């Protein structure tokens, strides 16, 4: 059957099993919007800004494992989407972004709403395509989904000139696709896995350090099994929270700049470090020269370029995390040999001493609302089962430290790029994917204003997300650094002239509640998830103005050089 | 810091070159020269990149290049015996004694004078980068108007073949 390019786009998405796409119309994509309008399988979610379309698709992808899909117009539509594309790229999130382009005869002529989308997005995509013939359209979309979702996932942009969406051709969606230059490794090398296994058994102070790769690979169950078989301590990166249950005694908390004392000390003192689906990011390693001085390192990662990039490792294993951990588990189970018991219990004693420092304690008797307390209460009310998105800054760290994620894909944050404005649209994406579930966006009065317009999207699609605004009237993390390192010169970190968030929420048709006393925190959260279960609720918590995120590794320090309080 | 000659087969598609060039600038890798042209297979281009860096950086360069979806195959020619050549065109002043002197030097370096005017010679030499450098040094007192170099292209020695 002959279809127009626009119809091919829609049919191809349906063939890929796409149910929702997030976007914003404009001249170059009008044919595609017209085709979407004339069918019912594919639901389009209209955001209020293209950045939000990408973040919403990103939240959708992170919470489901399915690729997020975005449709935006040419020019500013595409440039607005770039922040969200880069966000997904840094965190290896599968996403397919369709951008409209001016008709081919106009390309290069500085036409209205023309921008070189392929050129602009190139450094922040896994791959991108410009469609030059309607006959290639279906194949390119197939390739885009294939590349986005296999190997180390990432965003793929398909730039579609408007004239192509009007051209007709015979449509048949390719069943399989082969790209001769693209062969992601999935199976780990058995010799390397054996070597890793042997090295693990030599450990007296083993440490398991896992990242977002475990979540992307859906390897949580296998990781839990592996960790329990070994009896070793485990830490998760910011991106990896939830892969191992936070309430388990082998879990020593998050590591890195605002990780726990016990996690960072265990890293620093370990003799065998087992890194799984983590990439030795600078926020995790601190000063590289001081990083894990005594450890021999095993590194499992699907991306060969991640291996020995920042830290030279002893046993690299390139492969899908799930596959490799399954193989490791088999080796362990097939033998009676385990880690030496006496050494392991000495190691645990040491770790318990570090843990006894109780590095996440905070002063509860100040009469002001502590952000940590709000996050704890949120955990309690939602029984640790909510999907929690965040923006970027102090509130993000408080959420990571105090929520206690027990399941994967529940903690949705921009770890790599650190994109303020991510939280609310991401929460919308999560809620669209999980209509009946509890979704909270932990944010601050700085971040929330970067995509506040999406409150309007919440109303249109009845997404009952709960906004937990930790409002201290400061760009908190900036202020914290200025307090520590710039003699309290608070340059532009004070958010002057804040809006009345309650009135703002109400103006958008939602429930707004301001909470100013610690004793009102619990009730407000209960109301949000109870009485106002089906509504978008904006909880504006007026919190301690100068609370800091502790513990902290200052820039240039090693993991063993934390500031505790 | 060692010099490496990396040879790539990449899809002969618009944008492939900028993916490679963009990778080098985005990750602050050195790039001394880059040459690219289609091969006997019209769907493939062959690119030769001369770069330098520590072993760790060069390993990263190779891995990052391999990650580009348009890169079909990659070899570091400097890891084994190879042949590398560069083409140079140079326009030099050729007046009085210099006319003979330039001609002599061009003969020594197995080059050709490919264009002549009353005051200039344009010479063509194909050789290794080092030889071309020493030709330029040898010109010493002779005024050089213009130098154009292609950047190296390379191929491995013996029976090793870079093909798909």
Whether the pLDDT of residue A418 is over 90: the answer is yes
Confidence class for position A1, pLDDT limits 50, 70, 90: confident
Whether the pLDDT of residue B9 is over 90: the answer is yes
User: Could you report the per-residue pLDDT of A213-226, keeping only the tens digit for each?
Assistant: 999 999 999 999 99
Residue among A64, A58, A61, A106 nearest A81 (CA): A58
Confidence class for position A185, pLDDT limits 50, 70, 90: confident
Whether the pLDDT of residue A360 is over 90: the answer is yes
> A54 φ, ψ to 5°?
-70, -40
| Pair A53, A22: CB distance under 8 Å | yes
* CB contact A104 to B (< 8 Å): no
Say if the ipTM goes beyond 0.90: yes
> A80 φ, ψ to 5°?
-65, -30
What is the Cα–Cα distance from A547 to A331, expressed in whole angstroms?
48
CA angle A502, A506, A510 (to 5 degrees): 105
Contacts with A324 (C-beta within 8 Å, 6 or more apart), sequence order:
A188, A193, A276, A300, A317
| Pair A239, A357: CB distance under 8 Å | no
| Pair B7, B60: CB distance under 8 Å | no
Candidates A181, A279, A301, A316, partner chain B, best to mutate (most B CBs within 10 A): A181
Residue among A288, A266, A291, A279 nearest A204 (CA): A266
DSSP A62-102: HHHSSPEEEEE-STHHHHHHHHHHHHHHHTT--EEEEEEE-
User: Could you report the per-residue pLDDT of A27-77, keeping only the tens digit for each?
Assistant: 999 999 999 999 999 999 999 999 999 999 999 999 999 999 999 999 999
What is the Cα–Cα distance from A256 to A235, expressed in whole angstroms?
10
CA angle A121, A216, A433 (to 5 degrees): 80
DSSP A361-430: -----SSSB-HHHHHHHHHHHHTT-SEEEE-SSHHHHHHHHHS---STT-EE---SS--TT-HHHHHHHH
| Pair A178, A316: CB distance under 8 Å | no
- Comparing alpha-carbon positions, the chain B residue that sits nearest to A117 is B15
Tell if the CB–CB gap between B69 and A181 is shorter than 8 Å.
yes
What is the Cα–Cα distance from A51 to A199, expressed in whole angstroms?
46
Tell if the CB–CB gap between B64 and A305 is shorter than 8 Å.
yes
User: Could you report the per-residue pLDDT of B82-117, keeping only the tens digit for each?
Assistant: 999 999 999 999 999 999 999 999 999 999 999 999
What is the Cα–Cα distance from B15 to A127, expressed in whole angstroms?
11
Mean pLDDT of A375-391: 97
* CB contact B21 to A (< 8 Å): no
What is the Cα–Cα distance from A71 to A49, expressed in whole angstroms?
12
User: Could you report the per-residue pLDDT of A67-116, keeping only the tens digit for each?
Assistant: 999 999 999 999 999 999 999 999 999 999 999 999 999 999 999 999 99
Spell out the alpha helix ranges (H) of A231-386. 261-269, 282-285, 321-333, 341-355, 371-382
| pLDDT at A495 (0 to 100) | 83
| pLDDT at A496 (0 to 100) | 83
Residue among B2, B114, B115 nearest B54 (CA): B2
Can you say how many angstroms the Cα of residue A86 is from the centroid of all Cα atoms in its chain?
A: 12
Tell if the CB–CB gap between A305 and B164 is shorter than 8 Å.
no
Mean pLDDT of A316-334: 97
Q: Is A151 left (phi over 0), alpha (psi -120 to 50) or beta?
A: left
Tell if the CB–CB gap between B66 and A304 is shorter than 8 Å.
yes
| pLDDT at A314 (0 to 100) | 97
* CB contact B28 to A (< 8 Å): no
- Comparing alpha-carbon positions, the chain B residue that sits nearest to A129 is B15
Nearest CB to B72: which of A123, A181, A308? A181
DSSP B58-82: HHHHHHHHHHSTTEEEEEEGGGS-E
* CB contact A138 to B (< 8 Å): no
Size of interface A-B (CB pairs under 8 A): 38
Residue among A297, A291, A284 nearest A268 (CA): A291
* CB contact A126 to B (< 8 Å): yes
Residues of A in contact with B70 (CB under 8 A): 181
The H or E element that residue A30 is part of is: helix A30-37
| Pair A543, A371: CB distance under 8 Å | yes
What is the Cα–Cα distance from A154 to A10, expressed in whole angstroms?
22
Nearest CB to B18: which of A122, A179, A181? A122
* CB contact A182 to B (< 8 Å): yes
Residue among A243, A369, A216, A235 nearest A292 (CA): A235
Whether the pLDDT of residue A541 is over 90: the answer is yes
Which residues numbered 73-132 in B keep a CB inside 8 Å of some CB on A? none
Residue among A449, A545, A435, A438 nearest A505 (CA): A449
| Pair B84, B129: CB distance under 8 Å | yes
| Pair A295, A207: CB distance under 8 Å | yes
Q: Is A162 a catalytic residue?
A: yes
Residue with the two structure tokens 């494992």: A65
| pLDDT at A340 (0 to 100) | 94
The H or E element that residue B153 is part of is: strand B153-156
| pLDDT at A559 (0 to 100) | 94
What is the Cα–Cα distance from A32 to A24, expressed in whole angstroms?
11
What is the Cα–Cα distance from A235 to A359, expressed in whole angstroms?
15
User: Could you report the per-residue pLDDT of A116-156, keeping only the tens digit for each?
Assistant: 999 999 999 999 999 999 999 999 999 999 999 999 999 99
* Shortest CA gap B114–chain A (Å): 38
* CB contact A119 to B (< 8 Å): yes
CA-CA-CA-CA torsion for A457, A458, A459, A460, nearest 10 degrees? 50
**DSSP for residue A288:** G
| pLDDT at A565 (0 to 100) | 78
Spell out the alpha helix ranges (H) of A133-177. 137-149, 162-166
Whether the pLDDT of residue A258 is over 90: the answer is yes
Residue A443's Cβ-count burial label (10 Å; 0-12, 13-18, 19+) is buried
Whether the pLDDT of residue A227 is over 90: the answer is yes
Q: Is A50 a catalytic residue?
A: yes
Residues of A in contact with B164 (CB under 8 A): 180
Q: Choose the catalytic residue: A162, A205, A370, A466.
A: A162
| pLDDT at A504 (0 to 100) | 98
Mapped onto helix, strand or coil, the DSSP state of residue A298 is strand
Q: Is A239 a catalytic residue?
A: no
* CB contact B72 to A (< 8 Å): yes
On average, the pLDDT of chain B sits at: 95
Whether the pLDDT of residue A555 is over 90: the answer is no
**CA separation (Å) from A519 to A273, A374, A540?**
44, 11, 14
Residues of A in contact with B71 (CB under 8 A): 181
Q: Is A112 a catalytic residue?
A: yes
Residues of A in contact with B56 (CB under 8 A): 308, 312
Residues of B in contact with A128 (CB under 8 A): 15
Residue A107's Cβ-count burial label (10 Å; 0-12, 13-18, 19+) is middle
Q: Is A280 left (phi over 0), alpha (psi -120 to 50) or beta?
A: left
What is the Cα–Cα distance from B87 to B83, expressed in whole angstroms?
13
On average, the pLDDT of chain A sits at: 97
What is the Cα–Cα distance from A310 to B27, expressed in whole angstroms?
13
**What's the whole-model pTM score?**
0.96
Q: Is A113 a catalytic residue?
A: yes
Give chain B's count of helices (H) and strands (E).
4, 9
Instruction: Output the six-digit token pair for A361.
Output: 């304690």
Residue among A367, A519, A407, A389 nearest A444 (CA): A389
What is the Cα–Cα distance from A162 to A114, expressed in whole angstroms?
11
Instruction: Output the six-digit token pair for A500.
Output: 């009345």
What is the Cα–Cα distance from A495 to A474, expressed in whole angstroms?
5
Can you say how many angstroms the Cα of residue A416 is from the centroid of all Cα atoms in its chain?
A: 8
Q: Choose the catalytic residue: A50, A222, A327, A376.
A: A50
């Amino acid at each position: 059957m002959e279809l127009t390019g626009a119809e091919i786009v829609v049919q191809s998405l349906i063939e890929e099993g796409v149910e929702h796409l997030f976007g914003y119309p404009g001249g170059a994509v009008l044919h595609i919007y017209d085709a979407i309008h004339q069918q019912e399988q594919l639901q389009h979610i209209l955001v209020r800004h293209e950045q939000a379309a990408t973040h919403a698709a990103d939240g959708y992808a992170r919470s489901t494992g399915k690729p997020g899909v975005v449709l935006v117009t040419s020019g500013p539509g595409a440039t607005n989407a770039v922040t969200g594309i880069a966000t997904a790229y840094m965190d290896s999130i599968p996403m397919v972004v369709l951008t409209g382009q001016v008709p081919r005869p106009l390309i290069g002529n500085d036409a209205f709403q023309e921008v070189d989308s392929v050129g602009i997005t190139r450094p922040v995509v896994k791959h991108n395509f410009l469609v030059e013939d309607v006959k290639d359209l279906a194949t390119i979309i197939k390739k885009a989904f294939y590349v986005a979702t296999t190997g180390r996932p990432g965003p793929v942009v398909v730039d579609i000139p408007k004239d192509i969406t009007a051209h007709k051709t015979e449509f048949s969606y390719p069943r399989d696709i082969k790209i001769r230059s693209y062969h992601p490794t999935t199976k780990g090398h058995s010799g390397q896995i054996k070597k890793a296994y042997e090295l693990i058994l030599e450990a007296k102070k083993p440490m398991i350090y896992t990242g977002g790769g475990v979540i992307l690979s859906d390897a949580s169950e296998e990781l839990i099994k592996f960790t329990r078989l070994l009896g070793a301590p485990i830490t998760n990166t910011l991106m990896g929270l939830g892969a191992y249950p936070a309430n388990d005694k082998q879990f020593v908390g998050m590591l890195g700049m605002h990780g726990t004392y016990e996690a960072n000390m265990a890293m620093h003192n370990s003799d065998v470090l087992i890194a799984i689906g983590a990439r030795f990011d600078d926020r995790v390693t601190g000063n590289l020269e001081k990083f894990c001085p005594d450890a021999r390192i095993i590194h499992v990662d699907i991306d060969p370029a991640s291996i020995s990039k920042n830290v030279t490792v002893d046993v690299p294993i390139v492969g899908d995390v799930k596959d490799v951990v399954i193989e490791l588990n088999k080796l362990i189970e097939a033998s009676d040999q385990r880690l030496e018991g006496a050494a392991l219990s000495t190691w645990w004693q040491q770790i318990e001493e570090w843990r006894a420092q109780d590095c996440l304690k905070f002063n509860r008797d100040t009469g002001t609302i502590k952000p940590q307390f709000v996050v704890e209460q949120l955990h309690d009310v939602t029984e640790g089962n909510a999907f929690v998105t965040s923006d970027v800054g102090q509130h993000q760290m408080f959420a990571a430290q105090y929520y206690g994620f027990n399941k994967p894909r529940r903690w949705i944050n921009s770890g790599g790029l650190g994109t303020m404005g991510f939280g609310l649209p991401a929460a919308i994406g999560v809620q669209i994917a999980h209509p009946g579930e509890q979704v909270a966006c932990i944010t601050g009065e700085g971040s929330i204003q970067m995509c506040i317009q999406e409150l309007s999207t919440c109303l249109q699609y009845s997404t009952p997300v709960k906004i937990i605004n930790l409002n201290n009237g400061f760009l908190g993390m900036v202020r914290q650094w200025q307090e520590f390192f710039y003699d309290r010169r608070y340059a532009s970190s004070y958010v002057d002239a804040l809006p009345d968030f309650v009135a703002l929420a109400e103006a958008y048709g939602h429930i707004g509640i301001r909470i100013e006393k610690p004793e009102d925190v619990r009730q407000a959260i209960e109301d949000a998830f109870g009485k106002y279960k089906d509504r978008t609720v904006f909880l504006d918590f007026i919190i301690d103005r100068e609370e800091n995120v502790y513990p902290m590794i200052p820039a240039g320090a090693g993991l063993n050089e934390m500031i505790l309080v | 810091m060692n010099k490496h000659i990396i040879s790539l087969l990449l899809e002969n598609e618009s944008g492939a070159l900028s993916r490679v060039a963009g990778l080098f600038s985005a990750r602050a890798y050195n790039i001394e020269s880059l040459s690219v042209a289609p091969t006997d297979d019209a769907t493939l281009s062959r690119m030769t990149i001369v770069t330098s860096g520590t072993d760790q950086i060069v390993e990263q360069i190779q891995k990052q290049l391999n990650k580009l979806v348009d890169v079909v195959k990659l070899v570091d020619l400097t890891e084994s015996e190879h042949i590398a050549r560069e083409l140079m065109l140079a326009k030099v002043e050729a007046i009085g004694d210099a006319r003979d002197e330039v001609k002599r030097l061009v003969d020594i370096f197995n080059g050709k004078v490919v264009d002549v005017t009353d005051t200039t010679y344009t010479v063509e030499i194909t050789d290794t980068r080092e030889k071309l450098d020493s030709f330029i040094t040898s010109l010493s007192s002779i005024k050089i108007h213009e130098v154009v170099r292609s950047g190296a292209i390379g191929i491995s020695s013996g029976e090793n073949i870079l093909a798909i």
